[in-house]
Amino acid sequence: MASASGFRRIWAHPRARRLLVAALGVSLLALLAGFIAPYDPRTQDREAVKMPPHRLRFRDAEGRFHLRPFFHPWRIVDRARWRYEEDRSRRYELVFFVRGEPAPLFLGVRTSWHLFGVRSAPSARRAGVFNREDRERPLRFYLLGADPLGRDVFSRLVHGARPALLIAALSLAGAFLIGFALGGLAGYYGGIGDAALMRIAELVESVPILFLLLAWRAALPLQLSVEVSLFTLVALFVLVSWAAVARITRGCVLSLKTQDFVLSALALGAGPGWILRRHLLPNALTPALIQATVMLPSFLLGEAALSFLGLGVPEPEPSWGNMLTAARDLSVLYAHPWLLAPGFAIWGLVLLFTELGEAVRAASDPRDSHSAPLM
């Protein structure tokens, strides 16, 4: 089938294959966020407000090299401005595959195993002496610092990839299925239904997407549960995105339905449903998938924008968009630049999927020198 040949050509394209593997790696990271992140993304630490990232070291003050990385904890020197300095009298080791505080894994399952954690007071442990702070409050390791509520930025960053990728994937699936079905039917049957569908598609594409998203979201209650918010965002993105897939599918079906193999099938008594399933839609599948892949970055940016404005994923659930609300003040950015980490994550993921869409488009072009020949 043409669709299978298209998939083989895309996988055989070196750049498309590398980007697909990278996208799958990011998806796996989001799926295992509860294990990769050391802490629950909702847990607050009032003694770590805007705490800088801890500095990993391999050499101590005497110049001795240590195979296991360690760090010195921060101590507050100015609580009014939340200024910190390293406490060189205390040292903690970073250990891997440790038990820690329970965190959500997936499908309601929680795990207490994490990729890395902190071993409390390694030097004092041998001497049998522990600091009072170690007994009262277990130390946390902040790889990317803490936010204004004392929550671990790295844990929230890893968990924040979940809603972004989930919304993008569901929006992609919904827009593709609706647009592919409507475009195929409109292209094959034509007539008033085709004309009406295309006018609706033109109307949807002519409206500024951001204003449409804001208007629809503003019509809903401000406080929504996480599940309802995710469903609402997916419905919004499907509403504004199906038209592009429908138009390209309709164009493919229109150009194919007058071909000899389709006319021969009609002459042999094949029905419209059989022709659509066996001849027209499979040949239109690859162009429609390419168009859907190109739309992925817009879904990611849309979710981040709405969450940044407080209309997307609600607090305290982590989302890259709502995490960026802590970085709106320029003075905060100057003193706490690690709060911009979600912005770099959004930029990297959008760049990845943009390049993936371009690579898939190039791989499907028979004139591309890296495309595999059809068998």
Q: Binning pLDDT at 50, 70 and 90, where does residue 368 land?
A: low
pLDDT in tens, 54-66: 999 998 878 888 8
pLDDT in tens, 170-193: 999 999 999 999 998 888 888 888
pLDDT of residue 370: 54
Domains of the chain: 2-31+156-363 (1.10.3720.10), 45-150 (no CATH)
Which span out of 18-32, 113-127, 131-145 was modeled with the highest average pLDDT?
18-32
pTM of the model: 0.84
pLDDT in tens, 11-33: 777 888 898 899 999 999 999 99
Which span out of 61-65, 278-282, 317-321, 360-364 was modeled with the highest average pLDDT?
317-321
Residue type, 10: I
